[in-house]
């Protein structure tokens, strides 16, 4: 990638990703052709803000934030009340500032939040990999100190959900709040597991070689969607295994997959090439919204797209010339929240935006 390009760091739920800063000339809240967005509102101003998700009642938002100017050297978890028209979005830090945190999600009771943290491995931010050792290839670190915890709204840790040595992160919950799906390398590969929160019993739902992560349940809890890499040549397989042994993964080629909630009947629904990720179901469960850079050979920009469960009817949803990702619909389906480089004044900031969803 051209070293003269400017970049901004974004978190892919557990991993540091890189996105290009859009040109100032294109700065705006709403781009032409974004017909599904109405009454768009910028929620955050400055820093890198991403992975914003609604509470089950749609009244609150949890997200992760990095901003060295505020002393936030790596991601911490924040919560805030979802603003109504004309209100300013205010928020406060939930995590304790130790280690790196990621992938937060409200529990159904509205009184607790789960998230992954490296805090038990040390108070400092874990080091990022030196990409020059890998030919400047884009690399994600799989911190083996990541585990998933539950905290109350005052930030007190009330329970630890995972304890296996290795990477455990990228957790979301089913619509009834009873089951958690997350990514772990405890079986020797990056696979998805579904845990019953009450009994703590779990099942492994993916087993093909490659990275499986960033999963979501459908609104009715019967299906799951996720991003996956599938190395399929001897060279790609060797590279994947070599990086994994070092606690790393190179996520430049991913596609969107759908399966039954127990992992059966898994099928790939995109075949677009490059990085297709951050998938999520639409409120009616009939479509998937996801992020992709497939239109651009240089690997940038990233925009959001809609597709049905068979991979048909691809529709471009966002038009930023930088980075649009992490879409999530409110529980009633009337609003959408996402992260974007738009309207950042030519800085490297990535902020959160909320809009009314127009069918």
For every residue of 92-158, DSSP letters joined together read EE-S-S-S-EEEEEE-TTSSEEEEEE-GGG-SSPPPPP-GGGGTT---EE--TT-EEEEEETTS-EE
The pLDDT value given to residue 85 = 82
Could you tell me the two tokens for 114?
């789960």
Q: What is the pTM of this model?
A: 0.93
Q: In percent, how much of the chain has pLDDT > 90?
A: 87
Cβ atoms < 10 Å from Cβ of 288: 23
Angle, CA of 244, 183 and 270, to the nearest 5°: 90
Helix/strand/coil for 245 = helix
Those residues with Cβ within 8 angstroms of residue 266's Cβ, 6 or more apart along the chain or in another chain:
206, 208, 257, 258, 259
Answer yes or no: are the C-beta atoms of 151 and 115 closer than 8 Å. yes
User: Measured on CA atoms in the order 91, 49, 287, 30, is the torsion positive or negative?
Assistant: positive
Question: Which pLDDT band holds residue 12 (cuts at 50, 70, 90)?
Answer: low
Average of per-residue pLDDT across 319-331: 95
**DSSP string for 260-294:** ETTSTT-EE-----SBEEEEEE-TTSSEEEEEE-T
Mean pLDDT of the residues in the chain: 92
pLDDT in tens, 265-274: 999 999 999 9
The pLDDT value given to residue 9 = 42
Domain 7-357 has CATH 2.120.10.30: yes
Residue 17 has pLDDT above 50, yes or no: no
Residue 126 has pLDDT above 90, yes or no: yes
Cis peptide before 301 (omega within 30 of 0): yes
How far is Cα 284 from Cα 89, in angstroms, rounded to an integer?
28
Question: Which pLDDT band holds residue 297 (cuts at 50, 70, 90)?
Answer: confident
Residue 164 has pLDDT above 90, yes or no: yes
Angle, CA of 138, 250 and 18, to the nearest 5°: 40
Q: What is the DSSP letter of 187?
A: T
Residue 25 has pLDDT above 90, yes or no: no
Average of per-residue pLDDT across 297-304: 91
Radius of gyration, alpha carbons of the chain? 19
């Amino acid at each position: 990638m051209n070293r003269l390009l400017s970049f901004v760091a974004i978190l892919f739920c557990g991993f540091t990703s890189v996105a290009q800063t859009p040109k100032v000339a294109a700065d705006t809240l709403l781009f032409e052709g974004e017909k599904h967005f109405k009454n768009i509102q910028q929620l955050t101003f400055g820093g890198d803000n991403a992975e914003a998700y609604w509470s089950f009642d749609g009244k609150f938002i949890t997200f992760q934030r990095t901003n060295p100017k505020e002393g936030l050297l790596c991601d911490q978890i924040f919560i805030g009340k979802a603003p109504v028209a004309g209100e300013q979005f205010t928020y406060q830090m939930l995590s304790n500032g130790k280690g790196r945190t990621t992938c937060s999600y409200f529990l159904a009771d509205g009184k607790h939040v789960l998230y992954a943290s490296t805090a038990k491995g040390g108070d400092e931010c874990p080091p990022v990999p030196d990409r020059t050792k890998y030919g400047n290839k884009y690399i994600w670190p799989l911190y083996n100190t990541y585990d998933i915890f539950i905290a109350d709204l005052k930030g007190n840790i009330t329970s630890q959900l995972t304890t296996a040595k290795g990477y455990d992160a990228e957790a979301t919950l089913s619509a009834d709040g009873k089951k958690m799906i997350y990514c772990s390398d405890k079986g020797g590969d990056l696979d998805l597991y579904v845990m019953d929160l009450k009994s703590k019993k779990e099942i492994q739902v993916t087993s093909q070689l490659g990275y499986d992560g960033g999963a979501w349940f459908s609104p009715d809890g019967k299906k799951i969607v996720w991003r996956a890499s599938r190395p399929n040549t001897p060279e790609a397989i060797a590279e994947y295994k070599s990086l994994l042994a070092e606690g790393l993964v190179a996520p430049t080629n991913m596609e969107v997959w759908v399966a039954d909630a127990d992992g059966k009947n898994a099928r790939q629904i995109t075949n677009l090439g490059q990085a297709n990720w951050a998938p999520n179901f639409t409120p009616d469960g009939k479509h998937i919204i996801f992020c992709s850079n497939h239109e651009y050979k240089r690997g940038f920009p990233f925009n959001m797209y809609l597709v049905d469960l068979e991979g048909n009817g691809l529709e471009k949803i966002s038009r930023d010339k930088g980075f649009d990702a992490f879409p999530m619909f409110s529980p009633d389906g009337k609003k959408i929240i996402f992260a974007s480089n738009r309207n950042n004044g030519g800085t490297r900031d990535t902020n959160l935006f909320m809009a009314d969803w127009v069918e």
